[in-house]
Amino acid sequence: MDFLGYTFYFYSNENGEPIHIHVSKGRPSENSAKFWIKRDGVILEHNKGNIPKSDLKKIQKYICANRADIVNRWYEYFGF
């Protein structure tokens, strides 16, 4: 997935954690965020780097609007 130039992805070694998605632009080690995807909403877990708050709000809304697709991809990715 891609939105506003940000890439959305999962890490393969995190299937023991609740459903979440990572977002980055450029190098993930320098500019990334992680969002928990819960039944009652999407919560920013961390913002490592300098993703602007205005972008984080847009990304959070995008994740909410695409929640079902992201959750389905999570289950496909981790083989559930």
Q: Read off the pTM.
A: 0.90
**pLDDT tens per residue across all 80 residues of the chain:** 789 999 999 998 887 889 999 999 987 667 899 999 999 999 999 998 889 999 999 999 999 999 999 999 999 999 87
In Å, how far are 7, 47, 49, 71 from 68, measured between CA atoms? Answer: 18, 23, 28, 5
What pLDDT is attached to residue 79?
85
Number of structural domains (the chain) is 1
- Residue 68 belongs to domain spanning: 2-78
What pLDDT is attached to residue 50?
85
Amino acid sitting at position 59: I
- b/e burial code for range 7-20 (CB count within 10 A of at least 16 → b): ebebeeeeeeeebb
What pLDDT is attached to residue 31?
86
Which 3 state secondary structure label does DSSP give 19? coil
